[in-house]
Structure formats: C-alpha cells, structure tokens
Amino acid sequence: MCGIVGIVSNKSVSANIIGALKKLEYRGYDSAGIATINKGQINEQKCSGRVDNLEKILFQKPSNGNLGIGHVRWATHGIPNKVNAHPHSSEAVSVVHNGIIENSDKLRDEYIKKGYSFKSQTDTEVITVILTDFFKIRRFNKLYLQNS
Ligand code: GLU
C-alpha cells in the first residue's frame, strides 16, 4: 500500500505535493519522494522515513516546477531505504506506483539482457525502464521516419 499524488498547476507544485503526502501518510511511511519537471528536466528528491524528512530536504534544495508527482511508500519489494523510495526516474520518465508487479523479476531479467541496469530492488523500477525503452524506440522511429 502507498499514497500517490500528482499535480499540474500554473504555479510551483512542490509545497502542495508535500501537503498532500502528509495527508496520505497513513498509507505508507517507510519512505517518501517527489519528482517535478522544470524546463524539461526531471528533478527527483527522496528520503527514507517520513514526509517531514522530505520537507526538510526540499527546504534546503527547493524543487521547482509546475508539474509533479509524490509518493509515500509501504514496501513490498526491496527494503525501506532512500534508493528504493519512489519516484523511480530516468532522463525520460518518472514513476510512482501503488501495488505489486507480479512478473517484475522476469521483466527485470529481460531488460538487463537488453543492456539496462537497475538502481533499486523494487518491482516498480521495471515500469521506468520499460517506458524509457519505449520512448527511446519512439524517438528513434520518429527520427528515422523524418530522415527517410
Ligand atoms: N511494490 C512497490 C514497492 O515495493 C510499491 C509499494 C507501495 O504500494 O507502496 O516499492
């Protein structure tokens, strides 16, 4: 179980995401994280423990952006720590997830064989890797079609 929030606005969203995560904390409190997108760049901040810890990190290093997602975790795959905290981001995508991916081990092996590596022990990170791969293929196809 976990808590998930996503906000898009015409102003910076990180304070409202923190506020929402505090309200969702009953759903998971072993780690917390946020990702915002600013000028096309994903900015991810995570911590083990409660949302208060995340808030302190953001106070030191604000996370700007008008679009963002947040997560409070109740671990199912991988110990509760900062690396396993959500979001799980690449240069292309940032993912928060509630639940279990039953075939994550199989998918992980498949994508390791394709040359991808994983930072965390979570089942969730396979979604990040699959979407990153999908966006790479799509970008390649688009470039290919434009140039052929
Ligand atoms: N299965 C995911 C994990 O262990 C999500 C857990 C949750 O729902 O908080 O990270």
* pLDDT tens-digit map of 59-78: 999 899 999 999 999 999 99
* pLDDT tens-digit map of 37-61: 999 999 999 999 999 999 999 999 9
- Evaluated on CA atoms 148, 90, 133, 40, the torsion sign reads negative
Mutation test residue for ligand 1: of 4, 24, 46, 73, the one with most atoms within 8 Å of CB: 73
Which atom of ligand 1 approaches the CA of 1 most closely?
Answer: 8
3-state secondary structure the chain: CCEEEEEECCCCCHHHHHHHHHHHHHHCCCEEEEEEEECCEEEEEEEECCHHHHHHHHHHCCCCCCEEEEEEECCCCCCCCCCCCCCEECCCCEECCCCCCCCHHHHHHHHHHCCCCCCCCCCCHHHHHHHHHHHHHHHHHHHHHHHC
**pLDDT > 80? residue 25:** yes
pLDDT given at position 9: 97
Q: Which two tokens stand for residue 74?
A: 């109740």
Q: Which two tokens stand for residue 140?
A: 């390649």
**pLDDT > 80? residue 144:** no
How do 31-38 and 94-95 pair as beta strands? Answer: unpaired
Calculated CA dihedral for residues 106, 111, 112, 113, nearest 10 degrees = 90
Which atom of ligand 1 approaches the CA of 101 most closely?
Answer: 1
**pLDDT > 90? residue 141:** no
